Amino acid sequence: MRRAGVEKTSDSRRLHIALRRNGLSVSTAGLGGRVQPTRSGDPSRIGPYRIIGRLGAGGMGTVHAGLTSDGLRVAVKVIHPAQAEDPEFRARFRREVQLSARVQGPCLVPLIAADPEADAPWLATMYAPGLTLNQHVANHGPLTGGTLYAFATGTAQALAAIHLAGVVHRDVKPQNVILTPAGPRVLDFGIARAADGTSVTRTGIMTGTPGWISPEYYRTNTAGPEGDMFAWGALVAYAATGRLPFGAGAPDAVAFRVMSEDPDLEGVPDDLREIVERALAKDPSDRISADVAAQESSQALALQATQVAASDGGLEPTQVGELVTAEWDMPTLDDPSWQAPLLPSRKRTLVTVLVAAAVAGGIAGAALALPSVGADGARPAESPAGAATAAAATQADGADDHPEAAAVPGDQAEPSADPREAVVPSDPLAGVNDPAFTRDGERSEPTADEWRASIAASSPDETAVEKTIRDQMTSMLATKDMDYMEPTITFNKRAQTVMVTGGPISQIPEEHREVFRRAGDIAACTALAHRLKDNPTTWPYGRFSVYWENYDGDLEPTILGFGEATDGCYTQIAGQWQGDEGGVETASIPSSDSDEIRVAGATDKAITAAWDDRIAEGNGLTPFAASDAIDLGFDPVEKAAYVWVRDSNGALMGRAQQANFQDTVATTVCPKLMAEYTRNENWSYTRWTVARYEGNSRIPELLGSGECSP
């Protein structure tokens, strides 16, 4: 797994940090819902956005109020020219964009687009209207009742999503939480840090705000998820009481109280107080995690809602979600300065429903039983067509949770006792005299016009195929914590093409976008191949293409890949499946699936032990230079285990050595995979590939592939 290097220490940005500490950092969301007039020299457009005013300014740059072509309100942060001329600062801003793109979930402000390479680098987020927590407390007092409990639950869920994305916020404080009419929003990842140690800010500089810094950070400059949870405990206490739990005053005095004294939690409701106390433990190992804090806060929220309901006439428990939504009591804000109507569109709904649904779905639903937070916390809302068609598919065919077994209206495939054994047709139109798909063999890729002309599913068959593709892609991406990249599936009947579109997120790791392409290719290809095989004279779609929208309203998205389902969906040589470099790259991304992690660890050890045994037999084999040279990972797209070795000393230079290693892998991997296959009905990995990296090369040499027999 490639890791970016930690940036070197420097004092040249202490002024920037000082500005942050004094509340002058540039936030990418709205400031109280008010747009300030533009000033001389302000741009009229930034990227695809029309600029109508300012939302704020600070040491890092200016936040402009922008509108998309269809009226979506966005906040566009533009870096000051002096900062943009600093290559090291630009590199840190690029990293900020990458981190922000990784974080998707409830009660967050998602990144919509960015251009770190522009003369004036910028990023755009959804506009979140409302007061910050400190503004609300100053003007209206502490939060109370269901609103307080919803605040605790929502902000904990946001941090859980951040931490699961491998990011540490590092600056959780009242100025960085906006109380929108739809719920709290945690924002500002400007000094966020990747959990793998890659920092946006320079190391060696104290970042954060006194009173919101953990004891371990004061002592050792250590900033991990536990530090965020310490700040979360202080945040909830402040929201409940209006007081800083460790008081105010000189930074040194605040630091002493944080490290040595108990917090002032008088006035925090008892059931929340117990959770907050665990978050504020001096020892980070004793602190509650964000996920657990979200679950326990939601349970307290459910109890609070139930008690209120009972005293008010006895609402049924199933109505708690509605009550919680009503309990979030923040007024709807409007500002006539946003001089454009909010027009409905597929792209706008995708983003704005995130705001409206995060409390209703992510918090209110959690009041009864909080689900474990995935890679993006709560599932972002689909487009209206996507949501409707997915719901229709669920009602129409009653598909279960296994995408491979999802029922598709019109399918005539023979029933299989095990859906994992279903064979994907490699030539679905063989022998068909008059197929409905007439563009077989046409190799020109779909045009942008054809993409723009595509529409949502409009028939039961299209709806079912859409659901199959979406479910399969979600299943693949989830194992790598990438299911924040939700596909939109559309159809162009004239082009006989199914379009799979991701985005709009302009800056994500390239390997993540490549996994999205591969998942889209396989999911669309296999779904269409089955459909062509079963309904060759009525099903017109045989081509597929995968796109990526770089920003909201993008009319010419990047085409990532395209193909035909009549060519076979998997790479084969002489009828045998073969792995490829894309599979190695995907497999090298750490898995989030507990079964995969367990099997990978055990199999990796078994291969290493078996290879050591062969070397010990004295047959001329050379040990690898490093004891941990062998790695193993899973590619969920083609359901394959990949074993690769860093061969820095040339132990596998010769064909005999390579054949020996390949045989060692094959005889070790297959028993492990098939034992799990037999034990676990959700396990579908039955293929394997062996690869070698010579020296410091980044290009793998594929030594061999195979399939294990179920």
Q: Which residue has the higher pLDDT, 583 or 189?
A: 583
Angle between helices 270-279 and 290-311 (to 10 degrees): 170
Angle between helices 320-327 and 145-164 (to 10 degrees): 100
Q: Which residue has the higher pLDDT, 696 or 369?
A: 696
pLDDT-above-70 percentage for the chain: 76
Q: What angle do CA 574, 579, 583 make, to 5 degrees?
A: 160
* Tokens standing for residue 156: 């904990």
- pLDDT per position as a tens digit, 197-245: 433 443 333 445 667 888 888 887 777 899 999 999 999 999 999 999 9
With H, G, I as helix, E, B as strand and everything else as coil, classify residue 100: helix
Q: Which residue has the higher pLDDT, 531 or 80?
A: 531
pTM: 0.46
- Mean pLDDT across the stretch 581-585? 91
- Residue whose C-alpha is closest to residue 276's, from 339, 246, 226, 232: 232
Per-residue model confidence (pLDDT) at position 80: 83
- pLDDT per position as a tens digit, 281-300: 999 999 999 999 998 998 88
For the CA atoms of 197, 203, 204, 209, what is the dihedral angle to 10 degrees?
A: -90
- pLDDT per position as a tens digit, 421-458: 888 888 899 889 999 999 888 778 888 899 999 999 99
Phi and psi, residue 181, nearest 5°: -60, -20
Query: Which helix (H) or strand (E) element contains residue 526?
Result: helix 510-534
Per-residue model confidence (pLDDT) at position 89: 81
- Beta strand segments in 387-540, E: 488-492, 497-502
- Mean pLDDT across the stretch 393-401? 30
Q: Across the strands, what pairs with 179?
A: 131, 184
Q: Which range, of 5-14, 238-247, 588-597, averages the lowest pLDDT?
A: 5-14
pLDDT of 31 > 50? The answer is no
Of the ranges 343-347, 390-394, 500-504, the best mean pLDDT one: 500-504
- Residue whose C-alpha is closest to residue 9's, from 195, 161, 207: 207
Per-residue model confidence (pLDDT) at position 22: 31
- pLDDT per position as a tens digit, 632-669: 999 999 999 999 999 888 889 888 889 999 999 999 99
Q: What is the band of 334 on the pLDDT scale with cuts at 50, 70, 90?
A: low
Do residues 131 and 34 make contact, with C-beta atoms less than 8 angstroms apart? no
pLDDT-above-90 percentage for the chain: 36
Per-residue model confidence (pLDDT) at position 509: 78
Per-residue model confidence (pLDDT) at position 144: 92
Of the ranges 21-30, 112-121, 192-201, 502-511, the best mean pLDDT one: 112-121
Q: Which range, of 315-324, 458-467, 583-592, averages the lowest pLDDT?
A: 315-324
The letter for the amino acid at 97 is V
Q: What is the band of 474 on the pLDDT scale with cuts at 50, 70, 90?
A: very high
Q: Which range, of 182-186, 273-277, 383-387, averages the lowest pLDDT?
A: 383-387
Q: Which range, of 187-191, 401-405, 421-425, averages the lowest pLDDT?
A: 401-405
Q: What is the band of 388 on the pLDDT scale with cuts at 50, 70, 90?
A: very low
Query: Which helix (H) or strand (E) element contains residue 534?
Result: helix 510-534
Per-residue model confidence (pLDDT) at position 3: 26
Q: Residue 563 CA to chain centroid, in angstroms? A: 27
- Residue whose C-alpha is closest to residue 517's, from 494, 540, 487, 541: 487
- Mean pLDDT across the stretch 699-706? 90
Cα separation, 360 vs 338, in Å, equals: 26
Cα separation, 242 vs 223, in Å, equals: 26
Per-residue model confidence (pLDDT) at position 270: 94
Do residues 137 and 237 make contact, with C-beta atoms less than 8 angstroms apart? no
Per-residue model confidence (pLDDT) at position 710: 66
DSSP label of 346: H
10 Å Cβ neighbour count for 495? 21
- pLDDT per position as a tens digit, 240-281: 999 999 988 777 788 888 888 999 999 999 999 999 999 999
Cα separation, 299 vs 271, in Å, equals: 10
Q: Give Cα separations from 231 to 248, 279, 426 (angstroms).
A: 15, 8, 56
Residues recorded for the chain: 710
Task: Name the average pLDDT for the chain.
Answer: 77
* Tokens standing for residue 172: 């959780």
Do residues 304 and 153 make contact, with C-beta atoms less than 8 angstroms apart? no
Do residues 495 and 544 make contact, with C-beta atoms less than 8 angstroms apart? no
Q: What is the band of 403 on the pLDDT scale with cuts at 50, 70, 90?
A: very low
* Tokens standing for residue 283: 């020892």
DSSP label of 64: E
On the 0-12 / 13-18 / 19+ scale of CB atoms within 10 A, 308 is: middle
With H, G, I as helix, E, B as strand and everything else as coil, classify residue 446: coil
Per-residue model confidence (pLDDT) at position 507: 63
pLDDT of 325 > 80? The answer is no
Per-residue model confidence (pLDDT) at position 245: 92
pLDDT of 566 > 80? The answer is yes
Per-residue model confidence (pLDDT) at position 397: 31
- Mean pLDDT across the stretch 516-532? 95
Cα separation, 123 vs 23, in Å, equals: 20
* Tokens standing for residue 648: 């820095």
- Mean pLDDT across the stretch 541-560? 89
Per-residue model confidence (pLDDT) at position 568: 85
10 Å Cβ neighbour count for 190? 26
Phi and psi, residue 49, nearest 5°: -105, 135
Do residues 389 and 382 make contact, with C-beta atoms less than 8 angstroms apart? no
Cα separation, 98 vs 121, in Å, equals: 13
- pLDDT per position as a tens digit, 70-96: 778 899 989 888 778 888 888 878 877
For the CA atoms of 387, 390, 396, 401, what is the dihedral angle to 10 degrees?
A: -130
Q: What is the band of 320 on the pLDDT scale with cuts at 50, 70, 90?
A: very low
